[in-house]
A and B are shown apart, each in its own frame.
Chain A
Amino acid sequence: MRPFAFVVFDGTRLSLDPHAPGRRLRIDSRCVDGDPVTGAFAHVCALPDRSAALRYDEPEVQQARRDALAWWIPMLGDALVCLTTFALDASRCAGAITVARDPTRFAADPFARLFPGTIVRSDVFCAVPPPAGPPIERYGGAPWPGGRFQ
């Protein structure tokens, strides 16, 4: 399996078309490798500005991942479809996306502490089992929580 796929975000819309206008972001490929969930909502905590990035090793990015494991994923419960951080390269994070069947909990998204959230209707993301925890480190540069060592 590919370690990552791409989405393009222009500030209001998400696309899997690599030629769409906007910022190209790496995601956990499992999020788009199965049967898509229709009528879902994506909480995109990212900015189209190319300079909007933090290193994965920054404490605030680490803590957002811990919070996702500790309470964000349990809080979403059955509504969760998938979750992935956005990677730019081997070390930088451009935010994250949480996809859910119900957007009412998005105000609590821990990744919105990194970059502001935008809610986008989406029919392209697949249901992915949430990460088991407790690892927050990445596997070979894949966007957390994707990837694994072979």
Chain B
Amino acid sequence: MNVDERFPDLDLPDHTGRPRRLSELAGGDPLALFTSRGWWCPKEQRYMRGLCKLQDEFEVAYARIVVVSVDPPEVQSAFRAGLGARFTFLSDAERRWLPRLELLETTDTVHHPYLPAAFTLCPDLRVHRSYNGYWYFGRPTHDELRRDMREITKTIRDDWEAPAA
């Protein structure tokens, strides 16, 4: 996905099995979207634990976090509970979106998972920045996510500059 391109409005079940749309999950806020191999990958476990620390900032900053993987909802729900995550997981267990997004990790012929990637999105799902996380250090750091959220928020909030007295 290229910068300023609109990310597809994914329609997938969430970790509770409810049908959701990405645009609905964004809800008018900036969104950090992560594609993830799945619960079994140690790199994913480590990165998600870090995201759970960052969610304490997102929860007060009017920004959203969404993770997509091929794990079924019940597995995502257990993984999410174990992490202590309060954000949404979307399940593409049927791999409906995986080929369309061209994010299949071809080197894993066992799980056929998503390539780890990250996208920071505007509320209308325009791509602000994308990250290739195939190698762990390709993933966005917390500071890079903060920077992206700041840049998007500054663009979309008319009152970024505090109103004068």
Contacts and interface: CB of A to CB of B under 8 A. Distances in A.
Q: Which of B15, B55, B59, B157: most chain A CB closer than 10 A? A: B59
Interface stretch (A73-81, A90-98, A112-120): A73-81
A137 B86 CA distance: 13
Contacts of A78: 16-17
B62 interface: yes
Given A132-B20, A136-B59, A148-B28, 9 more contacts: A66-B86, A71-B81, A74-B77, A130-B16, A133-B59, A135-B59, A135-B61, A136-B60, A149-B28
A7 interface: no
A139 B86 contact: no
Given A66-B86, A149-B28, A132 B64 contact: yes
Contacts of A137: 59-62
A1 to B, nearest CB: 12
Contact of A135 (B29, B80, B81, B84): B29
5 contacts: A69-B87, A133-B55, A133-B86, A133-B87, A137-B61
Contacts, number: 71
B152 interface: no
A69 B77 CA distance: 12
A149 B18 contact: no
Contacts of B20: 129, 132
Contacts of B34: none
Interface of B: 15-18, 20, 24-29, 55-56, 58-66, 77, 80-81, 84-88, 157
Given A69-B86, A70-B86, A132 B58 contact: no
Q: Main secondary structure on chain A at its contact with chain B?
A: loop
A150 interface: yes
B59 A148 contact: no
Q: Main secondary structure on chain B at its contact with chain A?
A: loop
Q: Which of A69, A133, A134, A139: most chain B CB closer than 10 A? A: A134
Given A136-B60, A149-B62, A130 B18 contact: yes
Given A73-B16, A77-B16, A149-B157, A132 B87 contact: yes
Given A70-B84, A73-B16, A149-B62, A134 B55 contact: yes
A73 B81 CA distance: 12
Interface in A96-129: 129
A77 B81 CA distance: 14
Interface string A138-150: 0100000000111
Contacts of B61: 135, 137
